[in-house]
Amino acid sequence: MTDTTDLTKSENHTSNEPVYFSAWDIQAYYGESYIVQGVSMNINEGEILALLGRNGAGKTSTLRAIARLDDPMLVHGEIWLDHKPLHTMKSHDAAKNGIALVPEDRRIIQGLTVEENIKLAQIEKPLGWSIDRIYDLFPRLGERRKQEGTTLSGGEQQMLAIGRALARDIKLLLLDEPYEGLAPVIVQEIEKTLHLIRQQGITTIIVEQNAVAALNLADRAIILDTGNVVFDGTAAEILDDKELRHEYLAI
């Protein structure tokens, strides 16, 4: 692993952060592995950004770095959300300031009902959507409110994970493989839900192997390759560029 001492020192960089979210030259390691190698992005309030790339490109690591989780270790760069410096925060402070990560494994808490999983997210302020509002968005969760969360189907667990995130006062929703392992009909249902969330003005970054589905949802897209940004533009540009899709997304 290279010496990161100099990387952690301030370079007196002044971010040109947008109104809402920006990441500047973020670099992060998993142990000895240099995973995120200088990723930058700007997202306007209410936009959906698709973060794409082949397996191992650094997509999930980028999300985890933004959420300020300890793995991977952020060693350089700046992350701003609504003019607040997330790069100076631990994960719990980033969550209090509006970051919500829905991980691929959903992290439904065993032994707790659907409603208890949601209420647990509302122990600390600031609070977000009410439980009734979440049930309006996901009627199935309302029907199963007393059922243990880990006994739900995969699609229902994804709904619960998203609903639990909305129970907090979030500004940036990070979705890691939300369609993973779901039947096409359930994917369509989750897509409809994400469109509804978008109408509420919630800014979102979605990592998804089903690139076409993500691009159909997103305003803009970034493609990563070995931890580097190789494309930053509109979702429509990728959908229209066969060579780009084939080279970096294998579609």
C-alpha–C-alpha distance, residues 189 and 182, integer Å: 10
Neighbours of 157 (CB within 10 A): 21
pLDDT of residue 206 exceeding 90, the answer is yes
DSSP helix, strand, coil percent of the chain (3-state; round to 5): 35, 25, 35
Which amino acid makes up residue 110?
A: Q
Q: What is the pLDDT of residues 30-61, one digit of tens each?
A: 999 999 999 999 999 999 999 999 999 999 99
Q: Can you give the pTM of this predicted structure?
A: 0.91
Annotate 152-214 with DSSP letters as a single string.
S-HHHHHHHHHHHHHTB--SEEEEESTTTT--HHHHHHHHHHHHHHHHTT-EEEEE-S-HHHH
Mean pLDDT of 218-244: 97
Percent share of the chain, pLDDT over 90: 86
So what's the pLDDT on residue 19? 61
Query: Residue 150 burial (CB < 10 Å; 0-12/13-18/19+)?
Result: middle
Q: pLDDT by residue (tens digit) across 142-158? A: 999 999 999 999 999 99
Helical packing angle, 154-166 and 184-199, nearest 10°: 10
Task: Tell me: pLDDT of 208 over 80.
Answer: yes
SS3 63: helix
Please give the pLDDT value at position 8.
Answer: 35
pLDDT tens for 126-141 read 899 999 999 999 999 9
What is the rounded distance in angstroms from the CA atom of residue 211 to the CA atom of residue 215?
6
Per DSSP, helices labelled H in the chain are: 59-66, 91-96, 114-120, 131-137, 139-143, 154-166, 184-199, 211-217, 235-240, 242-249
Task: Sort residue 250 into left (φ over 0), alpha (ψ -120 to 50) or beta.
Answer: left
| CA–CA gap between residue 151 and residue 111 (Å, rounded) | 10
Query: Residues 71-122: pLDDT tens digits?
Result: 999 999 999 999 999 999 999 999 999 999 999 999 999 999 999 999 999 9
- Under 8 Å between Cβ of 153 and 183: no
Q: To which residue do tokens 């969330």 refer?
A: 197
Dihedral of alpha carbons 101, 25, 230, 227, sign: negative
Can you tell me which residue has the tokens 């100076």? 88
- Asked if residues 31 and 63 have their Cβ atoms less than 8 Å apart, the reply is no
Nearest Cα to Cα of residue 238 among 219, 221, 217: 221
What is the Cα gyration radius of the chain?
18
